Amino acid sequence: MNVSVVGATGYTGYELVKILANHPEFEIKCLVSETYEGQLFSDVYPKLRNICNIKIIGRDYEAVAKESDAVFLCLPHAAAQDATAFFYNKGLKVVDFSADFRLKDKELYEATYNVDHNYPDLLANAAYGLPEIFADQIQNAQLVANPGCYPTSVITPLYPLLKEGLISPEGIIADSKSGVSGAGRKASLAFSFCECNEGFKAYSIFNHRHNPEINHILKDTGNKTDVLFTPHLIPASKGIESTIYAKTNCDLKTIATCLKEFYSNGRFVRIYDNGHLPSTADVTDTNFIDISLFVKDDRLIILSCIDNLIKGSSGMAVQNMNLMCGFDDTLGIL
Amino acid sequence: MNVSVVGATGYTGYELVKILANHPEFEIKCLVSETYEGQLFSDVYPKLRNICNIKIIGRDYEAVAKESDAVFLCLPHAAAQDATAFFYNKGLKVVDFSADFRLKDKELYEATYNVDHNYPDLLANAAYGLPEIFADQIQNAQLVANPGCYPTSVITPLYPLLKEGLISPEGIIADSKSGVSGAGRKASLAFSFCECNEGFKAYSIFNHRHNPEINHILKDTGNKTDVLFTPHLIPASKGIESTIYAKTNCDLKTIATCLKEFYSNGRFVRIYDNGHLPSTADVTDTNFIDISLFVKDDRLIILSCIDNLIKGSSGMAVQNMNLMCGFDDTLGIL
Amino acid sequence: MNVSVVGATGYTGYELVKILANHPEFEIKCLVSETYEGQLFSDVYPKLRNICNIKIIGRDYEAVAKESDAVFLCLPHAAAQDATAFFYNKGLKVVDFSADFRLKDKELYEATYNVDHNYPDLLANAAYGLPEIFADQIQNAQLVANPGCYPTSVITPLYPLLKEGLISPEGIIADSKSGVSGAGRKASLAFSFCECNEGFKAYSIFNHRHNPEINHILKDTGNKTDVLFTPHLIPASKGIESTIYAKTNCDLKTIATCLKEFYSNGRFVRIYDNGHLPSTADVTDTNFIDISLFVKDDRLIILSCIDNLIKGSSGMAVQNMNLMCGFDDTLGIL
Amino acid sequence: MNVSVVGATGYTGYELVKILANHPEFEIKCLVSETYEGQLFSDVYPKLRNICNIKIIGRDYEAVAKESDAVFLCLPHAAAQDATAFFYNKGLKVVDFSADFRLKDKELYEATYNVDHNYPDLLANAAYGLPEIFADQIQNAQLVANPGCYPTSVITPLYPLLKEGLISPEGIIADSKSGVSGAGRKASLAFSFCECNEGFKAYSIFNHRHNPEINHILKDTGNKTDVLFTPHLIPASKGIESTIYAKTNCDLKTIATCLKEFYSNGRFVRIYDNGHLPSTADVTDTNFIDISLFVKDDRLIILSCIDNLIKGSSGMAVQNMNLMCGFDDTLGIL
């Protein structure tokens, strides 16, 4: 399979290229970036010198479509709409990293992102790319909307429990924390070293765009949730930890069994019910999600850790593309 | 006033000595540490060379009592009981940093810390050292129990709101995060650089000893709370951030007014109701507590930040001692 | 004394304001910043809320001159020339943080900074602001050029040794390392958290502008040096460490005695000849310079540590202004 | 090939197991650790759960020898002598990570490490494991002494230049910096988070044990060097940067050509002569060594970066074992 990456020079692009460069079935054809056109990818990321020395091209989507069977789009929301439609209509398989095709509800999308959605038909055809939950839809999709990083850490443990009715859909709180790379690769005072180092803070109180995404996807369990999601910034490059509070009538064993069974085929989901305290350090640079469960009286605490750029983005994107191409979802992902 | 510090070489001792060395009314007489007996304080902490070159003495409490009007005890819980009683009975003013005199309820203390309490009479006489709340008791006390760092960040914003009945006492969640110095100064694999760096994790789920302290002190508001407290470890040296979730029927203005009025004389309490996002970086190396308030529908989110070693420990201890000595609580604290 | 700060919102401005706010003789009148005009200083730096709430003004130098006896200029090189001349001609005492008045040699300045120098007369009148070395000139100066941070760490230990002929002026190497704040407060990809964190690198090989400054000032010892200076970037916010290699015929005791005697009145210079290994952590947030000496055969290694923003900039600037105003140089500096 | 690791639970052991778990020709048989006997490797390193769940065994060298064709010894110096002899005499291929077989000169070893060397015959048979330099000896060796991390970063660039006579053997200085993992995995106050974070310091001035190793190996070029080596501690987990100063009569092109030709078959050696500034961040978690060259007048500056645990230890160990087993040295190393 010939694959290309549009928006290749951000942090998700970097992680994606690193995985693709060692993938047994995908061959990288085009890396697209307007900013770095004409440079080698390894000039932008010297870490990959001798691993990916491909020359970056500018925004020539016709050329990309001609050379590629599939494309990964690492573009900002809104900007991704047209590109997605373009490649989709050319017959390419598309994994879109943006939020543009995650919310099936056009009105919700437009209210959340404050832009029009110009491709409602495509919305209807897009699968939401949590491969351990929606493998069936993903396998048959030509377009997959790659989930947000925070929602991945929150939805993965909650989905089976809500579906099986083991927790209350009401009053769930997800107190989440992310490393700085979640803000992307850019010149910004707020994310400069001295402003982030030795600091910890909450942000986007009551209004982060991943909050509607979480509740929207969880509706699929047959419940109406009002998960309250609060993101924080960790003084670290990578990693997301979500501490999730829910009400339950079940004991720890029932909760744990439900998750273990639901994810029995998910090699990347590691579930703990033995008091293990997962750290973001245990999942960074991997595609694992570590989930640890604690119950006391009627309260359930879930600790959930991922690498925001891999399981929360590029690793999952490759899982999705693997499924779309008929491969095992774990192929090429260490 | 001649003051001494017992257990002077931990991180709280260091911060305490740094404040005392520049205090206009306190003169440091004895610094006690069994481990570092005979060394200069500035050998242990080269940062204070030329600022505090006092020679550390061993555990000679008689000598300390003879030379001092007041003493700060930076000892582990249980170990602090006898020392506190000794100095108290000699007539010294005592600020005890341990948990030994924080919980007035002997049974609760013994259940929480799994040791006997041998001085129930002293318990009754000890004031809880949150100077912005309990100044009256502190001023008249000979013994003050310096609060835990986490409880300081949680109780300070909650106390007035509960007292005034502006929030529900039920279902409060405090999701707290602390820098590594909270674990103390010691050789420990778990707190070594490589184990903490670039990691973030929760710990002591459902069973941290500061949880009973929070609920015990909040009882004083006339409410029975069941605050659920979850601590996490930040890859930073200092700082505590608590994200606190509560239910309220009030609007933001009412909430903010209550706190601003209650703390109108508290120079170190900075309250924000304008969307400001406080960072631990804004309070480290200071004695401030930054509190920011957010209300949506019936949900209140409080963000609360302190330096765990200063406002959460040594700065507050000096505030307490100032009050016990009849000074303004802010004296000598920048 | 009424003092003002032009270019107040960078990191050096912040540290300067923090010192001035607690200084017993200086009162801050104007804080100037074009970018943040109209905001409170504590809006830009919330850490100083309740400590410095002064409203920032724009570039109204006439107003500044009218209200101030002295001014600190924290402007980029070249931009500082006109401002310095303006305030100098109005009769204000001026400490200029830029490089514009450090190099007495107009040609050297112009070759190094690639701009014209329009005030050669002022150059002749400016004192170089290393207060422990050039106190006499500083006391009598109306204009002081505040030294570069790296040169401070290198010149302080070398100056007395060269002057007394204890080391060879030839073949000296200064391998220096600085925290990220040395790059200033700005939006920049190169200094973003994820680009700096967990990395260490050299930069400006053979061509850093502080290299001519070092050799230029050391000429004053009567020697022609060709110090080779190599800067590196530490993944930390603050601190400079310089490892300096020189040839000597003297033993450790002779070297140490020379420095101790030369700096016998310098409260902020701490000299070690007992094998102590200084860390940047021991000087950050202080105005100290820690110098440790090692001799083996004919080789001398000097380890020198400062806080780049304090002893390497704002703390030293206050020392200089103290001297210019007839105060003890240590006044108001903890 | 069946391989085992003795001393598997340190940081080098962890990196080694991570590589071996994905190696196409090596199968891990035994992981030995006295401290963690009976636990799963993934209990000690949860990051490797589902990747290496092997149960750790205690010090049963007979069992290890019986099951293994080759063994990696990650033991402290001195302790490694007997273990090496044991496995060697059983006919296993041995890569020893300690310093015990690096210095062919028994007296130098004993003077440097202050212990007796009990196996002088083995010393004579051991190859020094820099695969890009000593491949011939390594291929034919049954015992390889894996180099020190610092020496790897210093010898790799210097060896060809000294051999070809392009630089002077006199007066070379290597100013090196390492992340904290170089100190190993252990409970230690000096390497605790709060003691290392936001600090930078030199250590082992004039007396680090890697200094004799550097000069000893460089003798092989036909020159007697007196490289002066100074190590420093970076507040980062991983990475070594060495800034190396030498005298040369050659221009940049000659220097660069020499290195490029010498390492033309070394996939892991990346040489820059275009002003590129290598960062430790560009090599961490890889087996690359990045070398950048700068010449001005008669001075050469070499910047050299490696991951101390991979190219500086476990990655190189696998390269060595690959060669000893007749494989391409790069096999199984991404």
pLDDT tens digits along D94-111: 999 999 999 999 999 999
Q: Greatest CA span in chain A, whole angstroms?
A: 61
> Do residue C101 and residue C237 come from a single domain?
no
Query: Residue range B8-36: average pLDDT?
Result: 98
> Do residue B175 and residue B26 come from a single domain?
no
The 10s digit of each residue's pLDDT in D17-58 is 999 999 999 999 999 999 999 999 999 999 999 999 999 999
Query: Residue range A98-105: average pLDDT?
Result: 97
pTM summary value:
0.98
For residue C317, is it within any domain?
no
The DSSP 8-state label assigned to residue C160 in this structure reads H
DSSP A93-140: EEEE-SSTTT-S-HHHHHHHHSS--S-HHHHHHPEE--HHHHHHHHHT
For residue B139, is it within any domain?
no
Distance from CA of D210 to the nearest CA of A (A): 27
pLDDT at residue number C334? 84
Do residues D307 and D278 make contact, with C-beta atoms less than 8 angstroms apart?
no
DSSP C97-130: -SSTTT-S-HHHHHHHHSS--S-HHHHHHPEE--
Q: Is A27 exposed, middle or buried (0-12, 13-18, 19+ CB in 10 A)?
A: middle
Terminal CA-CA length for chain A: 19
Distance from CA of B25 to the nearest CA of A (A): 33
For residue A164, is it within any domain?
yes
Do residues B224 and B169 make contact, with C-beta atoms less than 8 angstroms apart?
yes
Banded model confidence at residue C90, pLDDT cuts 50, 70, 90: very high
Who among B173, B239, B282 is closest to A245 (CB)? B173
User: Which of C125, C158, C175 is the C-terminal boundary of a domain?
Assistant: C125
> Do residue A85 and residue A166 come from a single domain?
no
Distance from CA of B200 to the nearest CA of D (A): 13
For residue D315, is it within any domain?
no
Taking CB atoms and an 8 Å cutoff, what residues of chain A touch D334? 22
User: Which of C75, C91, C125 is the C-terminal boundary of a domain?
Assistant: C125
What order of strands is seen across the sheet that includes strand B143-145? B27-32, B2-6, B70-73, B93-96, B143-145, B127-128
Of all residues in chain B, the one with the smallest CA distance to A303 is B202
The DSSP 8-state label assigned to residue A178 in this structure reads E
**Chains that contact C by 3+ CB pairs under 8 Å?**
A, B, D
Q: Is 90 exceeded by the pLDDT of residue B278? A: yes
- Count of H helices and E strands in chain B? 12, 13
> Do residue A36 and residue A114 come from a single domain?
yes
Mutation target among D18, D39, D49 for the A interface, most CBs of A within 10 A: D49
B281/C50 Cβ within 8 A: no
Of all residues in chain D, the one with the smallest CA distance to A198 is D198
pLDDT at residue number C192? 98
Taking CB atoms and an 8 Å cutoff, what residues of chain D touch C205? 275, 277, 294, 301, 303
> Do residue B295 and residue B155 come from a single domain?
yes
Instruction: Return d(Cα D277, Cα C70) in angstroms, integer.
Output: 42
> Do residue C292 and residue C160 come from a single domain?
yes
Do residues B73 and B90 make contact, with C-beta atoms less than 8 angstroms apart?
no
Who among A198, A228, A241 is closest to B299 (CB)? A228
For residue D212, is it within any domain?
yes
Instruction: Return d(Cα A97, Cα A90) in angstroms, integer.
Output: 19
Instruction: Return d(Cα D47, Cα A270) in angstroms, integer.
Output: 10
Banded model confidence at residue B334, pLDDT cuts 50, 70, 90: confident
For residue B292, is it within any domain?
yes
> Do residue C165 and residue C73 come from a single domain?
no
Nearest to B84 by CA among B69, B67, B97: B97
A239/B234 Cβ within 8 A: no
* % of chain A at pLDDT higher than 70: 100
- What residues contact D232, with CB distance under 8 A and at least 6 apart? C177, C241, C243, D175, D176, D177, D178, D200, D201, D202, D203
Mutation target among D19, D20, D23, D50 for the A interface, most CBs of A within 10 A: D50
For residue A52, is it within any domain?
yes
C198/D237 Cβ within 8 A: yes
Structure tokens at C38: 């109209």
> Do residue A64 and residue A164 come from a single domain?
no
Structure tokens at C327: 């105060």
Q: Enumerate the active-site residues of B.
A: 149
Q: Check the CA dihedral D302-D305-D308-D309 and report its sign.
A: negative
Domain harbouring A203, CATH code: 3.30.360.10
Instruction: Return d(Cα B5, Cα D161) in angstroms, integer.
Output: 59
Range of the domain at B285: 149-308
Q: How far is CA A110 from CA A105, A117, A121, A213, D217, in A?
A: 9, 6, 15, 13, 67
* Cross-strand bridge partners of residue D209: none
> Do residue A117 and residue A157 come from a single domain?
no
List alpha helices for C177-314, DSSP H. 193-196, 210-218, 252-262
- What residues contact A304, with CB distance under 8 A and at least 6 apart? A153, A154, A156, A157, A241, A242, A244, A278, A289, A290, A291, A292
pLDDT at residue number A121? 95
Q: Is 90 exceeded by the pLDDT of residue A171? A: yes
Q: How far is CA C231 from CA A251, C318, D248, in A?
A: 59, 26, 21
D279/C243 Cβ within 8 A: no
B201/A278 Cβ within 8 A: yes
DSSP A79-100: HHHHHHHHHHHTT-EEEE-SST
Q: Is B186 exposed, middle or buried (0-12, 13-18, 19+ CB in 10 A)?
A: exposed
Instruction: Return d(Cα C112, Cα C213) in angstroms, integer.
Output: 9
B181/D194 Cβ within 8 A: yes
* Cross-strand bridge partners of residue B301: B245, B294
B194/D11 Cβ within 8 A: yes
Taking CB atoms and an 8 Å cutoff, what residues of chain D touch B196? 193
Distance from CA of B152 to the nearest CA of D (A): 22
- What residues contact D169, with CB distance under 8 A and at least 6 apart? D162, D218, D223, D224, D225, D226
> Do residue B169 and residue B104 come from a single domain?
no
> Do residue B101 and residue B39 come from a single domain?
yes
Query: Residue range C142-148: average pLDDT?
Result: 98
Please tell me which residue in C52, C149, C250, C305 is annotated as part of the active site. Answer: C149
Domain harbouring B112, CATH code: 3.40.50.720
Taking CB atoms and an 8 Å cutoff, what residues of chain D touch C237? 198
* Count of the separate structural domains present in chain A: 2
Of all residues in chain B, the one with the smallest CA distance to C287 is B47
Instruction: Return d(Cα A116, Cα A110) in angstroms, integer.
Output: 6
> Do residue D103 and residue D187 come from a single domain?
no
Query: Residue range D122-129: average pLDDT?
Result: 96
D46/A282 Cβ within 8 A: yes
pLDDT at residue number D245? 98
Query: Residue range D71-85: average pLDDT?
Result: 97
pLDDT at residue number D334? 85
Structure tokens at B91: 């007539």
The 10s digit of each residue's pLDDT in C261-289 is 999 999 999 999 999 999 999 999 999 99
D194 is an active site residue: no
For residue B10, is it within any domain?
yes
Taking CB atoms and an 8 Å cutoff, what residues of chain A touch B235? 234-236
Who among A180, A192, A237 is closest to C188 (CB)? A192
Nearest to C222 by CA among C157, C158, C315: C158
